[in-house]
């Protein structure tokens, strides 16, 4: 008999799984035997994610694919209802979808429309997904992992204040609901990545060559990423699986794991070589 896999029999929803960190997370869960709901707006990218997962699994019925916009309440209902219809329960919710939406404006010139859109996908969609899945996660004593960002921590990225503020709101919301839901046996945690090479900059309207140039610059400057490399989606996906696995992380409640290659440790002073100062 084949050995039981780490997430066998677990039903997992991963938002934003048509691309980047979410797709890598869905692939890892599928490899580990989970029943997986993948979702996003872009049908082509979702189809590519579906094919990638189906290559790995002998159980095509363990995959649920939902084209949905998380800023539309029908989209949220489709994700939750189709998961319940197909898998009968929800054990794990990964609120990963997010974007630093751009309309070309920066800093305090960013518009109120952009503020609303940014909060809707990065914060409100998470709140709504949790409200819609809460009763099901209580039944299974499940897990929630939110994907935040170091942009939500104390260091600031002043060019895009709404994205940073939305991720800060998400961090505090994570802590508040973690304290509430743990009394019902549901654990809530989050991960706060630094730079990860995904479709994130593309979604901001930057072409691939600009993205690559930025990634190379940051990886080769210790003031940006002391570890000397940009993360790949899998690096973050492994942390998400760790936080979703009660056997590995049961005592972690309401925390955010920072995974940024040391970026948030750098201060103006440590960015320079002391030998150059004297
Ligand atoms: P990607 O752009 O590669 O993936 C984002 C995913 O979110 C896509 O699957 C996209 O699907 C989905 N998405 C975006 N908007 C919507 C929407 N309105 N409705 C439904 N789905 C949506 O970026 P990442 O993988 O990097 O982003 C994942 C998370 O990681 C985000 O929360 C991001 O803020 C966070 N993060 C990323 C960092 C990075 O450097 N990459 C750093 C720190 C945090 P589709 O386009 O098909 O709708």
ipTM: 0.99
- Model pLDDT for residues 229-246, shown as the tens digit of each residue: 999 999 999 999 999 999
Distance 23 CA to ligand 1 centre (A): 10
Q: From 93, 99, 126, 259, give the residue whose CB has the most ligand 1 atoms within 8 Å, as the site to mutate.
A: 99
Going from the Cα of 16 to the center of ligand 1, the distance in angstroms, rounded, reads 6
pTM above 0.90, yes or no: yes
Question: Is the pLDDT confidence value at 250 over 80?
Answer: yes
Identify the residues whose C-beta falls under 6 Å from ligand 1.
16-22, 40-42, 45, 69-71, 96-99, 121, 147, 149, 193, 195-196, 198-200, 203
* Distance, CA of 83 to CA of 60 (rounded, Å): 14
Starting at the earlier edge strand, list the strands of the sheet with 63-67: 63-67, 35-40, 11-14, 92-95, 143-147, 187-193, 256-259
For residue 1, what pLDDT is reported? 67
Q: Let me know: does 113 contact 61? Beta carbons within 8 Å.
A: no
Cα-to-centroid distance, 5 and ligand 1 (Å)? 28
Q: How far is the CA of 159 from the centre of ligand 1 (A)?
A: 19
Q: Select from 20, 23, 261 the residue to mutate for testing ligand 1; criterion: most ligand atoms less than 8 Å from CB.
A: 20
pLDDT tens-place string over residues 11-46: 999 999 999 999 999 999 999 999 999 999 999 999
46-89 pLDDT tens trace? 999 999 999 998 799 999 999 999 999 999 999 999 999 999 99
The CA-atom distances, in angstroms, between 193 and each of 56, 240, 245 are: 27, 11, 19
| pLDDT above 80: residue 3 | no
Q: What percent of the chain has pLDDT over 90?
A: 91
């Amino acid at each position: 008999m084949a050995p039981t896999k780490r997430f066998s029999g677990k039903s997992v929803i991963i938002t934003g799984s048509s691309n980047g960190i979410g797709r890598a997370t869905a692939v890892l869960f599928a490899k580990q035997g989970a029943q997986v709901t993948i979702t996003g707006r872009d049908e082509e990218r979702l189809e590519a994610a579906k094919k990638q997962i189906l290559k790995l699994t002998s159980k095509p019925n363990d995959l649920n694919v939902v084209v949905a916009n998380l800023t539309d309440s029908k989209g949220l209902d489709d994700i939750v209802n189709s998961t319940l219809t197909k898998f009968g329960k929800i054990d794990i919710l990964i609120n990963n979808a997010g974007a630093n939406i751009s309309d070309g404006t920066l800093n305090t010139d960013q518009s109120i429309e952009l503020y609303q859109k940014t909060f809707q996908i990065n914060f409100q969609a998470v709140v709504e997904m949790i409200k819609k899945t809460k009763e099901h996660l209580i039944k299974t004593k499940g897990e929630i992992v939110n994907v935040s960002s170091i942009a939500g921590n104390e260091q600031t990225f002043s060019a895009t204040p709404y994205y940073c503020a939305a991720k800060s709101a998400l961090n505090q919301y994570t802590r508040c609901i973690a304290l509430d839901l743990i009394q019902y046996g549901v654990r809530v945690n989050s991960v706060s990545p630094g730079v990860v090479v995904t479709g994130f900059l593309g979604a901001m309207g930057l072409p691939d060559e600009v993205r690559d140039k930025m990634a190379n610059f940051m990886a080769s400057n210790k003031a940006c990423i002391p570890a000397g490399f940009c993360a790949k989606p899998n690096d973050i996906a492994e942390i998400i699986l760790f936080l979703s696995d009660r056997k590995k992380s049961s005592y972690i409640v309401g925390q955010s794991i920072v995974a940024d290659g040391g970026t948030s440790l750098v201060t103006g002073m440590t960015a320079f070589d002391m030998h150059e100062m004297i």
